Structure 1
Amino acid sequence: MEKYETLKGKGLIFLFFLWFLWFINFSIRIVFSPILPLVEDEFSVSHGKASSIFIFLSAGYGIGVLISGFFSGKMGYKRSIIISLLLLSLVNFLIPFVYNFSLLYLFSFLLGFSVGIYLPAAIPLITEYYSEKQWGKAISIHDTGASVAIFATPLISIFLLKFFKWRDIFMVYGVFFFLCACIFYCVSTEVKISNPSKAMFKEIIKKRALWLMSILWVFAAGANLGIYSITPLYLIKELKMDIGFANTILAISRLGSIGVAVACGFIVDKFNLRFVIFIMVFITSMFTILLGIIGARYIAFILFFQAIFVTGFFPIGLVAIARIFERDIRSLATGIILALSILFGGGLFPYFLGISGDLLSFGLGIVILGVLVMLSSTLIFHIKELE
């Protein structure tokens, strides 16, 4: 197929549509965070049990990205994304009818699984649609969908809660996912590659770079989604803030990260990739530690800067994955790394932070996470493929 050589005209329009798909995918993945205090109160469960929703979301996401990494190339990236969008529409229409907390675990898993199919198909699709010299910009612009979602989702929740119950928010998302599936079917072209062979799978899991990148992504995801997921509980239950005020702080704290994600796409080709990643992760760790020890008075300030630096890691991290792994294993590598990062960083970490909140305090758990993120930052210098 003919590749877009510049980010203009049809190439830019298509990229912004992919951007919206990633935005709405990421938004539904994190929407439980701003409404979690309401869910916790309605079902009368502890912080730890409420936070365990993120384990099932992440487990489903991890399995989804692994399956997509294995099969999306042969099935077709277009078809894989359409399946993801239709499944998301169905699950979102069903969640409002769940009145048993254990069933909410099941639907959280299905929600995560459906979201997980998307990215291992989207990143290779971008590298097929756009020339290599545009990868950094295209991937970074696409990835800002996550940054905008992290900023906008609490505000979307506050707005929708004025008109609907928390359950009905999922109905609204369901309509959008169905419309997106129809539009994507009409405007995209199918791209297929052969499935990774067993020998190729054995080869990739022996790559040291795969595991080093996975560890980096796990702790970056923990500092990003892990912190984000429990912040409303931390602000409302421990720091005694109002739910509307807490979600406003959460949203505003993510505003600056949008510009950083875009900027990273333009600096990634001008500076040493490993050094930029190290700086982003190390400074993230420092602000994460401060987040756990600072008082309510300065919490918004620390959240703002912590979000800026942790968000900058992800578009650069995706570019690093694209450069480390060859075309035929890129989707699989993306799937494995994302699966591990979301399962541990986006699932287990919020759960452990919730347990910390039940037993001692959220702040202590956040400080420990910050120290672990700091220790992981040096791993980037051991990835030879990025020299």
Structure 2
Amino acid sequence: MQHIFNVSDITEYIQEILENDQILRDVWIQGEVTNFVRSSNGHIYFSLRDERSQIKCVLFRRDAIRQLFLPKNGDAVVVHGAVRVYEPNGVYQLYADLIHPIGEGLLRQRFQALYTKLEREGLFDPSRKRPLPPRPRYIGVITSPVGAVWHDIQTILRRRYPLAHLLLAPALVQGEDAPATIIAALEALHRDGRAELIVLARGGGSLEDLWCFNDEQLVRALFASRIPIVSAIGHETDYTLCDFVADLRAPTPSAAAEQITPDIRDLQQAVWGYAQRASQATELLLAHQRALIRSFSARLDHASPRRVIDDGRIRLDDIVGRMNSILATQLQRARMHLTSLERELTLLHPRHPLERGYSIIVDPTTRRWLHSAGELSDPQAVHVIFADGHAEGTIRPVSKAQGGHNG
């Protein structure tokens, strides 16, 4: 009885045949591009056709981003890939990984082979790319001294960043002898030692015109450079191996001149801003220092010997004033006391009773005052003192009465 296969079995069988075919798993196919579509996720779908047939093709995003050339409908191209079956639809198609325009197919193959070799060695590793100096003073330029590129770079930098000094290292930029002259120019800039970065520049051209920049020895020389390299070769859509090994790839030489230097007007604006900020900071610092000086001056004035002396003088004046006031008060009191004593002495003075009519009787012999009749003898010689004079006399008879006075 004949064996019956289901669709999946047959599809898998055909897939196995195609995958094991030495030609179909590594094939180059040429034809005209038609039905070109780019999906939202980055995959590219198109067909290749000739006068009799067509084949569907797919270029996945991971491969599409590595292409140096992407076709459009009507382009004649050579496509590399593997023919396999797309099982859900049961159709065979070309799973592409490289696309070249017809006429450049052989060079593109050589380019891709060398690219793959150098990439595996790590020459294109993004992690090894060095940052460029932000404000270079000396810039080495490797290019033809007679081309428009050298003139354009000078013109742009003269306008954009006149502080930079250009060091021209002349070289051929086309032909078989070009790689050797470029390597020699690179070595000359290293010996000079002033360049902070090097620009390798050339105008646009065909793949053949730019082929010298895919030279393996030149690429390795750029990789070994101690100075950062900027590649500015061709137009924006032109790529060479020098672009991949350089620390920076500029789409054109003119763009390189703008990318490697700041605009002096931006620097002037930044300097002005820094000056303003410095001025404001200085004013704030001066104000702070003035406040500190005033504080220290006040503290010094407070602790100054002159201030202590002045305060002492004030306190001394205050003490002297208080002492003078106390002395004046005490002197006044003393004067009043003396006046009182003077009055008392005046009242107690013997003359005071005499002025009121009394007299003093003195024993002329003993010169004693006689205070009572009992002190008199009979007869008694006396000396009598009056307020306005004195007299001598004799008292007789003497009469002594109890509790009374005799004269």
TM-score exceeds 0.5: no
Question: Which gives a bigger RCO, structure 1 or 2 (Cα 8 Å, sep 6+)?
Answer: 1
- By percentage of residues, which structure has more helix? 1
TM-score by length of 1: 0.22
- By percentage of residues, which structure has more strand? 2
